[in-house]
Chain A
Amino acid sequence: MSRAFISAQRLTRRFPQAPGAGELTVFEDVCFSVAEGEFACLVGHSGCGKTTILNILAGLDQPTAGHIIAGGKHVEGPSLDRAVIFQGHALMPWLSALGNVELAVSSRYPGWARRQVREHAMKFLALVHLDGAAMKKPAQLSGGMKQRVGIARALAIGPRMLLMDEPFSALDALTRGALQDEIVAIRQATKPTVFMITHDIDEALLLADKILLMTNGPKAWIAEVIENTLPADRTRIDLHKHPNYYPLRNHLLDFLVVRSRELAAHAELRSKDLHPAVVRPAVASTTDHTAGAVASDRSGHACNGQIASGHICAV
């Protein structure tokens, strides 16, 4: 694995509650890393602080303790190196699609002439197949088109990292699929480092190289890192035909439905070095002792340094 491009160390966020009620610890000592060019998905239940982690990574929020290093620099505030695609598209309704992208481009390249800004913005609108709707206001665009503008706006500033907060959760299934294909294509073309939050297991399996699994909040943490064992050229159509698909999916579902809750109730199961266990769910190979199943002994994966059942290894 190449060196960590994004690295979170013992990230903790507490929010003040009503006077006298003390503080609410949303997550505690969260550790993870993402390599350069890697696509990481963060999966977990609502309320475990996923969006807060992304906001801290974007520089829009500050952790109560711990820190994040991104691209060799300590994250202290927002940066044009880290583009954010927001959940609710966050387009300026008074600007056209083109105007929204132009605003980002002229912020990134303040010295550029108007014409150059426009050409650059049009190029990225064309990348998401919206060059025909450039002059339309967001209110005239469908949900999927708005999110495409959001993607074009993020990509147009040439970021080193792309941060996406459930970008497709508000879209219908067909539109979501089309946009996922779009992301796959963009990814193959530009290879950015991506950190994305999602609720959708299939979306994570299609897009992500690795999936970070978060326990339930409060005091949530990232318990496991799932390495995607599907082939790199997977598509939405053949994803579920691969033999590793169901082991992966079952492992993720099992975590979300059962273990995320169990782990939250038993914080003592957490490994002492606080780093998440790495799991590679796959079909049973000769070294497996459980046929067709995944290494998911529910004993908390206190697995730093040890290799359990051929699937789990140290970070």
Chain B
Amino acid sequence: MHAPLALRAAIISLLLFMGLIGVWHLATLQTGPTITMDPEYAKLMGSTATQGKSPMPGPGEVGAKLWQHLRDPFYDRGTNDKGIGVQLVYSIARVLTGYLLAIAVALPLGFLIGMSPLMARALDPFIQVLKPISPLAWMPLALYSIKDSAISAIFVICICSVWPMLLNTAFGVATVRREWLNVAKTLEMSPGRTALRVILPAAAPTILTGMRISIGIAWLVIVAAEMLVGGTGIGYFVWNEWNNLSITNVIVAILCIGLVGMLLDQLMARLQRVVAYAD
């Protein structure tokens, strides 16, 4: 008699989690050598030097900090003191703006490439050269030509999320089954109607796969982009806390980045299920 698979998997996940926390806790318990020093000087040096405490925060500290952040995520007390929720909202807004722009470019262009072998060949060299460029390499060019760091970050998000969508749309459109297109032809459908009623639903699962990959990449890139442009956003928060030498806050931010990334991915997975069809 076995428990259901989901339950067994959950038990293993929980055990692994507890194991990791345990190892983390033990690793940060150890104390290093202490030096006797002038009490005034010791105040400046902090607990690492005076008590031999590990500079790496333990799970308890991080948990307490996380709870503190979660209790009040949306406060705003000036430039460098905003709640983690506010920073995440800035990042998500940038990602979504860049991402929507990328959709507006990638879908029509993907349809064009998928439907026209001529345009596919003509545009291929451009795509092959532009695709492998790290999105951050565009940043100086964007900052110089746009002269606005916020828009530059959006541009970088746009250009990094355009490629998977573009290539998947082109592939999905190009591989729509000939028999469905023949049905559209024998029904004398206009090219526009064929694109909307036949090609789009037929290619939708492939397109959504590209969009899911894109949102993942966009979320990866936003952290790095915000470290560069600064001001707001979760990437800036991480860099700011590193400058504050608050490893605890950095770890909290890393956790939040992971959770938001997972949520975005799950959202796309749900959309994928909506357009999927059994053949």
User: Are A137 and B182 closer than 8 Å at their CB atoms?
Assistant: no
Give the distance in Å from the alpha carbon of A83 to the alpha carbon of B186 in the complex.
7
Cβ of A58 within 8 Å of any chain B Cβ, yes or no, is: yes
Known contacts A84-B182, A86-B179, A92-B180; A107/B188 CB under 8 A: yes
User: Are B185 and A86 closer than 8 Å at their CB atoms?
Assistant: no
Give chain A's interface secondary structure class: loop
Closest chain B residue, CB of each to CB of A139? B278
**Pick from B182, B275, B278: contact of A90, CB under 8 Å:** B182
User: Are B197 and A103 closer than 8 Å at their CB atoms?
Assistant: yes
User: Are A94 and B185 closer than 8 Å at their CB atoms?
Assistant: no
Cβ of A280 within 8 Å of any chain B Cβ, yes or no, is: no
Closest chain A residue, CB of each to CB of B276? A94
Cβ of B183 within 8 Å of any chain A Cβ, yes or no, is: yes
Give the distance in Å from the alpha carbon of A86 to the alpha carbon of B180 in the complex.
10
**Stretch of A25-33, A74-82, A113-121 with 4 or more beta carbons under 8 angstroms from chain B:** A74-82
* B180: A residues at CB distance < 8 A: 90, 92
User: Are A137 and B278 closer than 8 Å at their CB atoms?
Assistant: yes
* Minimum Cβ distance to chain A for residue B10 (Å): 32
* Minimum Cβ distance to chain A for residue B194 (Å): 10
Cβ of B21 within 8 Å of any chain A Cβ, yes or no, is: no
* Minimum Cβ distance to chain A for residue B187 (Å): 4
Cβ of B193 within 8 Å of any chain A Cβ, yes or no, is: yes
* B197: A residues at CB distance < 8 A: 103
Cβ of A93 within 8 Å of any chain B Cβ, yes or no, is: yes
Cβ of A315 within 8 Å of any chain B Cβ, yes or no, is: no
Closest chain A residue, CB of each to CB of B205? A94
Cβ of A104 within 8 Å of any chain B Cβ, yes or no, is: yes
Closest chain B residue, CB of each to CB of A107? B187
Give the distance in Å from the alpha carbon of A133 to the alpha carbon of B189 in the complex.
26
Q: In chain B between 159 and 190, which residues have their CB closer than 8 angstroms to a CB of chain A?
A: 179-180, 182-183, 185-189
**Pick from B182, B189, B277: contact of A60, CB under 8 Å:** B182
Give the distance in Å from the alpha carbon of A88 to the alpha carbon of B180 in the complex.
11
User: Are B201 and A78 closer than 8 Å at their CB atoms?
Assistant: no
Closest chain A residue, CB of each to CB of B179? A90
**Pick from A79, A90, A93: contact of B183, CB under 8 Å:** A90
* A84: B residues at CB distance < 8 A: 182-183, 186
Q: How many residues of B contact A (CB 8 A)?
A: 19
Cβ of B198 within 8 Å of any chain A Cβ, yes or no, is: yes
Known contacts A60-B182, A93-B278; A80/B202 CB under 8 A: no
What 1/0 flags go to A124-160 for Cβ under 8 Å of B?
A: 0000000000000101000000000000000001000
Cβ of B279 within 8 Å of any chain A Cβ, yes or no, is: yes
Closest chain A residue, CB of each to CB of B198? A92
User: Are A82 and B277 closer than 8 Å at their CB atoms?
Assistant: no
* B279: A residues at CB distance < 8 A: 93, 139
Q: In chain B between 170 and 229, which residues have their CB closer than 8 angstroms to a CB of chain A?
A: 179-180, 182-183, 185-189, 193, 197-198, 201-202, 204
User: Are B201 and A92 closer than 8 Å at their CB atoms?
Assistant: yes
Q: In chain A between 46 and 61, which residues have their CB closer than 8 angstroms to a CB of chain B?
A: 58-60
Known contacts A60-B182, A86-B179, A94-B202; A78/B188 CB under 8 A: yes
User: Are A80 and B187 closer than 8 Å at their CB atoms?
Assistant: yes
* A103: B residues at CB distance < 8 A: 187, 197
User: Are A59 and B202 closer than 8 Å at their CB atoms?
Assistant: no
* Minimum Cβ distance to chain A for residue B250 (Å): 46
Q: Output the residue of B179, B182, B187 with the most chain A CB within 10 A.
A: B187
Cβ of A261 within 8 Å of any chain B Cβ, yes or no, is: no
Known contacts A94-B201, A139-B278; A78/B185 CB under 8 A: yes
* A78: B residues at CB distance < 8 A: 182, 185-188
Cβ of A108 within 8 Å of any chain B Cβ, yes or no, is: yes
* B185: A residues at CB distance < 8 A: 59-60, 77-78
User: Are B182 and A107 closer than 8 Å at their CB atoms?
Assistant: no
* B182: A residues at CB distance < 8 A: 58, 60, 78, 84, 86, 90
* A59: B residues at CB distance < 8 A: 185-186
25 interchain pairs, CB-CB under 8 A: A60-B185, A77-B185, A78-B185, A78-B186, A78-B187, A79-B186, A79-B188, A80-B187, A84-B186, A86-B179, A86-B182, A86-B183, A90-B180, A92-B180, A92-B202, A93-B277, A94-B202, A94-B204, A94-B277, A95-B201, A103-B197, A107-B187, A108-B187, A137-B277, A139-B279
Chain A residues within 8 Å of B, Cβ to Cβ: 58-60, 77-80, 82-84, 86, 88, 90, 92-95, 103-104, 107-108, 137, 139, 157
